[in-house]
């Protein structure tokens, strides 16, 4: 017979051979829990010049203001070991959605930005299979733009420039 149970990401399996009179053996099997990845969708509101990113495709279902541009990348909805929150802010005065892993950058909100909570979980450092999510700012439009394709805007194009070190976080 077999009896399996788990604790602390480890599964223990008690195995006894059919007809055996020996004591059951405890086999320790180390299991890596894999979390489901979610698409981070990119939307554009061309009226106010804002790019919004969300893992909830229904969030923009009842608005004509934002149009789906497509998937930006894949992220985690739940926290995986080693990941951090991607914090979400909105500034209605300039019509800008802003995302950062550094809560201290805007805290609970400043400079017109309102803290909306965290959108998802990402990595702060490169991990196997991840790629950088580049962060750009168009100061004339007051728009932050995020992409995993460096060639899309390079070091800067169409008024967008890399902001800070240029990398917001690491995603799939």
Say what the pTM is: 0.79
Q: What count of other Cβ atoms lies within 10 Å of the Cβ of residue 31?
A: 9
pLDDT of residue 19: 54
* Paired sense of beta strands 156-157 and 50-54, if any: unpaired
Tens digit of pLDDT for each residue in 43-101? 999 999 999 999 998 998 888 899 999 999 999 999 999 999 999 999 999 999 999 99
The pLDDT confidence band at residue 26, using thresholds 50, 70 and 90, is low
Tens digit of pLDDT for each residue in 50-66? 999 999 989 988 888 99
Residue 28 is encoded by which pair of tokens? 């320790």
């Amino acid at each position: 017979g077999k009896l399996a149970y788990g604790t602390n990401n480890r599964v223990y399996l008690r195995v006894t051979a059919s007809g055996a009179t020996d004591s059951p053996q405890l086999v320790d099997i180390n299991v890596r829990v894999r979390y489901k990845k979610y698409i981070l969708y990119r939307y554009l509101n061309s009226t106010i010049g804002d790019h919004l990113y969300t893992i909830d495709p229904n969030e923009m279902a009842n608005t004509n203001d934002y149009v789906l541009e497509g998937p930006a990348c894949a992220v985690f909805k739940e926290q995986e070991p080693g990941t951090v929150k991607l914090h979400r802010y909105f500034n209605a005065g300039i019509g800008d959605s802003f995302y950062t892993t550094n809560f201290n950058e805007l805290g609970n909100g400043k400079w017109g930005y309102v803290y909306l909570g965290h959108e998802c979980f990402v990595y702060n450092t490169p991990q196997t299979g991840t790629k950088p999510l580049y962060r750009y700012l168009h100061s004339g439009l007051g728009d932050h733009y995020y992409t995993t394709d460096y060639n899309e805007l390079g070091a800067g194009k169409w008024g967008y420039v890399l902001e800070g070190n240029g990398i917001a976080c690491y995603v799939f």
